[in-house]
Structure 1
Amino acid sequence: MDLDEVAGRLYAVPPAEFTAARAAEASAAKAAGDVRLSRDIAKLRKPTVSAWAVNRLAREHPGELADLLGVGERLRAAWQAQDADALAELTQRRSEVTAKVARLARQAGGLSAAAATEVDQTLDAAVVDAGAADQVRAGRLARPLSYSGFAPAPVTAPRSEPSRRRGPSGKDAAAEEKARAEAEARQAREAGKAREREEAEAAHREWAETLESVTREYDERAEKVARLERKLAKARKRLEEVRQRLQVTRREERHARQRLG
């Protein structure tokens, strides 16, 4: 048993069952003597409802999801090549396939309007960003994804040095390339900050939920202990009364036996 195997099982269960399932998996790993794996399992974060809905798509509708991610891959390549005809065709195809996959995510039910919006944002991120696509394909999201850029993420492939030629606008192509790279880097930083903020907020929500649950359990157990202590106090009092009666009875029995002699 390894972490990937356990994570695959855990992120397939509904969010409401995740915490208990994670605790059971961590306990099993610890009982098997793998303390490190147990700790790593305990660190796996509970998925939001929207993240779980996307994970479910990866498991239950892999073909439809693969179609969407394939469109995204071709769209990014077309954008990189600035192929206007392909971009127009793929943009239309993207709308159709995204709508189909989003409907599949909603069919299982249990999604609020906010969660459904997060599913849409995650699917959009998977279309325009290859890294997001890989995360969605793996089916182990803990949080929804988002992409803040105005265009698909650049394809990371070796490119030749830009020539110092001038385009139709008269601008230096190298200067344009540099400006575009700076804009993409700026967008990546902003997206990273947004993801960090989302992750921090999600982590706080999860721990707040856990705190509420543990507090409720503590209060229930404390009240049960208090009831048992009250019962124990009454039982001790009755035991003391019976002990005193036993002493009196023994004494009287002894006196009666002495009179017989």
Structure 2
Amino acid sequence: MADEDLLPLADELYALPLAAFTPARDKRAKETKDTRIKALRKPSLAAWVVNLLVRHETEQVEQVLAIGAGLRAAAEGMDAKQLRELTKQRRQLTAAVTTRARAVARERGVRVTEAVADQVEATLTAAILDQGAAEAVRSGLLVTSLAATGVDAVDAAAAVALPSALGFEAAPVSRELRVVPDPEPEEAERRRREEALQAARGTLAEAQHDHAAAAKQVSKLEAKALQLSAELEEARRRVADLEEKAEELDEELAEAEDARDEAAGELAEAQAAVDRLS
């Protein structure tokens, strides 16, 4: 069985509930006697949540990946205005999609903690910043969460079940095929409020980040202004000292000129006396 031939099977396995993955994998490995199936790694909880999101909220994931493509294109083209706008959209979208991912997992009886949610959001952010990470997410075959700095390339191949998963797209699950009871109105309203809260928190975090940056710039300029004020005061003191010395020098110069004129008169009288006696 070629590596590519494992993809449809892997797609089935990684679409299963997390608790069902290992038994189903081991059963298929035993049936086929293919050790490579046994080697397929169980996904971490964060990776499973992202895989779930890819299959059940495909449109939202595609939005995230589209923002990523636009963000990378803007970065390459040095379009600063578009880059700022897309970065803002990215923060809001990843926060909102992460909230939805937690809801999708909760519908299937899986509670996602804040720590796991942070890993899910970091994975979505990595998919925006890095093309390889985007392909890994789209595959729906993640085995571990991703993180990206935007500088170094992400080792996407190490985060998926199979190297050939990069370029593979997980089969989406139609919403109509879900066997999930409709939530009670109160529960639906609570979830809507939670999603709105998460989006608001994302906006708040961005505003806090911008405020902190502006405050840092103000502090920097205030320090520079204080330094310049001190230098100006020192310059003024030096000018005052020089002016005082100049006045003293003017007085000394006047006295020296008077002494010179007096000595010149005496010299003239002495010369005249010499001339008379010669």
- TM bracket, shorter-chain basis: 0.5 to 0.7
Q: CA deviation at 1:97?
A: 1.7
| Partner of residue 138, structure 1 | 139
Residues 71-115 of structure 1, C-alpha deviations (whole Å, 9 max, x = no match): 000000100111011112111221222122111111022212221
1:74-223 to 2 correspondences below 5 Å: 74-107=70-103, 108-109=105-106, 110-147=111-148, 149=149, 151=150, 184=151, 187-188=152-153
| Structure 1 unaligned regions, length at least 5 | 31-37, 152-183, 200-261
| SS, match of residue 21 in structure 1 | helix
Q: Which runs of 4+ in 1 moved over 3 A?
A: none
The one-letter code matched in structure 1 to 2:147 is S
- Larger relative CO (CA 8 A, sep 6+): 1 or 2? 2
**Percent identity for Structure 1 against Structure 2:** 41
Among 22, 26, 30, the alignment partner of 2:25 is 22
Matched residue type, 1:137 = R
CA distance in structure 1 between the aligned counterparts of 2:25 and 2:58, rounded to whole angstroms: 25
Residues in 2 aligned to 1:57 and 1:141: alpha-carbon distance in whole angstroms: 11
Between the aligned partners of 1:130 and 1:136, the Cα distance in structure 2 is: 10
Q: CA deviation at 1:28?
A: 2.2
The alpha carbon displacement at 1:58 in A equals 0.6
Q: For the Cα contact (< 8 Å) 1:6–1:25, is it kept in 2?
A: no
Checking the alignment, whether the CA contact within 8 Å between 1:23 and 1:42 is kept in structure 2 is: yes
Letter of the 1:41 partner, please give it: I
Larger Rg, first or second structure (1 or 2): 2
**Matched positions, count:** 152
Q: CA deviation at 1:14?
A: 2.2
TM-score normalised by length of structure 1: 0.54
